[in-house]
Amino acid sequence: MTTQPPELIEFRYELLEDGIGHLVFDMPGRTMNVFSNRAIHEAEAVADWLGSSGLRGLVISSGKTTAFCAGADLGELAQAYAMIIAAPEDQRWQIGRDHFAPIGRAFRKLETADVPVAFAINGLALGGGCEFALAGHYRVLADTPATALGLPESLVGLLPGGGGTQRLPRLVGIEAAMPVLLDAARFTAADAVAAGVAHRVVPAGQEIAACVEWIRSGPQPKQPWDRADYRIPSAEEVAARLAGLRRARQEETGGHYPAITAILDCVEFGLPLPMDAAVGKEIDIFADLIKRPEPRDMISSLFLGKQTWQKQRKSGALPEVYDSIAAAIRQSWANVAARFEPADVEAAARWARLSATILPGGPVQPVSARVLGEHPGIAPTGIWIDAPQGQDQVIAGALLGAAVVAALEHGRDLDADSRRAADFHSISAAGFPAYLGGPFALYDSIGSDGVRRLIAPIAS
Ligand SMILES: C/C=C/C(=O)SCCNC(=O)CCNC(=O)[C@H](O)C(C)(C)COP(=O)(O)OP(=O)(O)OC[C@H]1O[C@@H](n2cnc3c(N)ncnc32)[C@H](O)[C@@H]1OP(=O)(O)O
C-alpha cells in the first residue's frame, strides 16, 4: 500500500509497478528543467513524503528531451542578489543562507529517507541537476554523446551549494573531483562509471528499466558516507592534499575569483566532517559567496548576456555595436597606457587579470567623464575596485574606468539585455576581466561616482 506524494507542478508522479514510484522532472513551459525555487521546494516535499510513502524504491527521470536538468535557475539566482543586498549588511549572510539552504536540505533528506532512490539520466545533468543525482543511491546513464554529469557553477562565480562539493570528492576522490568543481570538467557516461560517480551505462531508452531492475534487487538505501565503515579523512590530510592546488589557483586568478577559493574551502573544511555538518559548512560558505558582487556580475554577463548574444548570433542579428564597444575598449587601454611606463601598465593589467595584450600607447587623449551622467551604484562592492591603492591598482582602475567610459560612449542606447550581451562580448573579445562582469555591470555596481574615482588619475 503506497500513498500519493504532495501536489506537484514541476514534477509528475506515477507508479511504475507495485511499490516502485517514478518521479518525472518536467517543468511546464520551460524548454529545460532547472531548479527554480518552486522545484526546490517540491523536491524537499517529495523527500519529506518518501519515508512514509510505502514505496520500496523511487526512480527519478526527466520528461524533457533536451537534458535531465541544467542546475539552479540562474535567472532567479540573479534576482536573489538584489534581495540580499537590499537588506542591512549584518543580515545579508543569514538571509542568503536561509534562501539557499533548502536545496541541500532537500537532497540530504532524499538520501536519508531509507528508500532506495535511482536516477535515470539521459542528457546533461549539470549543477544542481548533477547534485540532485548525486543524492541518489544509484545512477544509470544513457549511452548518448549528450549525456554527461558536471558542476559548472564556478564559471558563473558560484559553488555547488546542493552538496556537490561534498558528495563528488567522497565518491571519486579529491584529485578526480577538483577539475569538475573548479574548471567545469564533465564526466561522459563512460567516464562517470569508470570514475565511480555512476553505476551503469545502458542504451538510450533503457535507463528507467535498469533503475527498476536495481530496486527489485532489494538494495540498501545508504550512501557510502552514511555507512559505519566510512573513513572520514583528517583535516590535516585534506589540507595537505589541497595545498599545492590552492597555491596554483591563487597564482592563476590573483585571488580575484572568490568562487575558486570558496570551492577549495568547502572541500578542505567539509571533507573532514560527517555529511550533515559538511553540507552545513558548504551552505555557510555559499552564503558568504552569494552576497559578493562577483557571482551577480558573472551570472549577468557569462550566462544571461551569453544567452542573448548566442540567440542574436543564431538569428544573424548580432549588433555591430558589440564589436565597436570591444574596439573602443582596446583603444581606451592604449590611451591609458600612453600615460604610464609600459612595464607598469603590463604589471597592472596582469595584476587585475585583464586577458588582453595592451597596445603601446598612441597620443594621449583626454578621458571625459561626461558620458557617466548621474548613476547610483548598487552598493559598495567590498573589493579593490571601490578604492584602488598602490600603483598596480591605480593603473588597473584607470584601465577599467576608461573601458566603462568607452562602452558607454558606444552603447548608450542599448537595452538591458543587450548591455549584458555587450558585457559578455567585452569579456570574450576585448579581455575585460570576467569577475567584474563587463563594463556595463561594473558601471551598475559602482555607479558614476565610482567610475569617476577610477578615471581621476587620467581625467585631464
Ligand atoms: C546551488 C546550485 C547552483 C547551480 O546549479 S548554478 C547553475 C549551474 N548550471 C549552469 O551553469 C548551466 C547553465 N546552462 C548552460 O550552460 C546551457 O544552457 C546548457 C549547456 C545547459 C544547455 O545549452 P544549450 O543546449 O545550448 O541550450 P540553451 O539554449 O543554453 O538553454 C535552453 C534553455 O534553458 C535555459 N537554461 C539553461 N540553463 C539554465 C539555468 N541554469 N538557469 C535558467 N535557465 C537555464 C536557457 O535560458 C534556455 O531558455 P530558453 O529556451 O527560454 O531560451
pLDDT of residue 189: 98
Pick from 75, 107, 38: which is nearest to 308 by CA? 75
pLDDT of residue 355: 82
Residue 365 CB less than 6 A away from ligand 1: no
Where the chain has pLDDT below 50, the residues are none
Pick from 337, 353, 347, 329: which is nearest to 429 by CA? 329
Dist. CA 366 → ligand 1 center (Å):
42
Dist. CA 71 → ligand 1 center (Å):
7
Residue 256: all three cell numbers together: 580575484
Dist. CA 73 → ligand 1 center (Å):
8
Dist. CA 70 → ligand 1 center (Å):
5
Q: In whole angstroms, give the CA distance from residue 314 to residue 253.
A: 32
Task: Work out which ligand 1 atom sits closest to the CA atom of 155.
Answer: 11
Q: Is 153 a catalytic residue?
A: yes
Q: In whole angstroms, give the CA distance from residue 237 to residue 121.
A: 34
The residue nearest atom 39 of ligand 1, judged by CA position, is 70
> Which residue from 10, 32, 132, 309 has its CB within 8 A of the most atoms of ligand 1, so it is best to mutate?
32
Active-site annotation holder among 10, 42, 111, 153? 153
pLDDT of residue 364: 81
Residue 74 CB less than 6 A away from ligand 1: yes
Dist. CA 33 → ligand 1 center (Å):
9
Helix, strand, coil share of the chain (percent; to 5): 55, 10, 35
Residue 75 CB less than 6 A away from ligand 1: yes
Residue 34 CB less than 6 A away from ligand 1: yes
Q: Is 7 a catalytic residue?
A: no
Residues 6+ apart with CB under 8 A from 171: 134, 177, 195, 196, 197, 224
Residue 159 CB less than 6 A away from ligand 1: no
Residue 161 CB less than 6 A away from ligand 1: yes
pLDDT of residue 1: 82
Q: In whole angstroms, give the CA distance from residue 119 to residue 149.
A: 12
> Which residue from 30, 74, 288 has its CB within 8 A of the most atoms of ligand 1, so it is best to mutate?
74
Dist. CA 103 → ligand 1 center (Å):
18
Task: Work out which ligand 1 atom sits closest to the CA atom of 286.
Answer: 1
Residue 79 CB less than 6 A away from ligand 1: no
Here the ipTM equals 0.99
Dist. CA 159 → ligand 1 center (Å):
16
Dist. CA 330 → ligand 1 center (Å):
31
pLDDT of residue 216: 98
Residue 282 CB less than 6 A away from ligand 1: no
Residue 283 CB less than 6 A away from ligand 1: no
Helices 235-253 and 258-270 pack at an angle, to 10 degrees, of: 170
Domains, the chain, ordered by start = 11-290 (3.90.226.10), 293-458 (no CATH)
**Host H or E run for residue 141:** strand 138-142
Residue 305 CB less than 6 A away from ligand 1: no
Q: In whole angstroms, give the CA distance from residue 437 to residue 302.
A: 8
Task: Work out which ligand 1 atom sits closest to the CA atom of 156.
Answer: 11
Residue 160 CB less than 6 A away from ligand 1: yes
pTM for the predicted model, two decimal places = 0.97
pLDDT of residue 460: 65
Q: In whole angstroms, give the CA distance from residue 86 to residue 141.
A: 42
The residue nearest atom 30 of ligand 1, judged by CA position, is 307
pLDDT of residue 158: 98
DSSP per position, 391-446: HHHHHHHHHHHHHHHHHHHHHTT--HHHHHHHHHHIIIII---GGGT-HHHHHHHH
Dist. CA 395 → ligand 1 center (Å):
36
Residue 103 CB less than 6 A away from ligand 1: yes
CA angle at 273 for the pair 270 and 274, rounded to the nearest 5°: 120
The residue nearest atom 38 of ligand 1, judged by CA position, is 70
Active-site annotation holder among 10, 44, 131, 207? 131
Q: What is the DSSP pairing of strand 138-142 with strand 124-126?
A: unpaired
